[in-house]
Amino acid sequence: FTVCVEIETGDQLVQYLPCITFVQVYDKNKDGQVDLREWRAPLPPLGPHGDGVVDYIFTRVDNLVGGKGQLNQADFANALTLL
């Protein structure tokens, strides 16, 4: 799962930011897996229920791909197609 950002002004491309992958954002210990602690780290509280929403998203995706308590890039991409 890769995110690329292009910033444009009119017809001219002003800046192309490097692509970042799911693992680059979330996998802080570089083991190829993202656990709930790593998942929480870059995310702000979402809505009035804060961390509960962040935890719910992780748990929902984890359950869709086998419920092992860790996600890798392929798990996350596969879960997005199932949602």
**Residue 25: which of 1, 6, 7, 47 has the closest Cα?**
1
* Structure-token pair, residue 72: 């890798």
In three-state secondary structure terms, 17 is strand
Tell me: pLDDT of 35 over 90.
yes
Q: What does the pLDDT read at residue 83?
A: 56
Q: What does the pLDDT read at residue 37?
A: 92
Tell me: pLDDT of 75 over 70.
yes
Supply angle C-alpha 51, 53, 58, rounded to 5: 95
Tell me: pLDDT of 40 over 80.
yes
| pTM attached to this predicted model | 0.65
- Residue-wise pLDDT tens digits, 47-61: 777 778 888 888 988
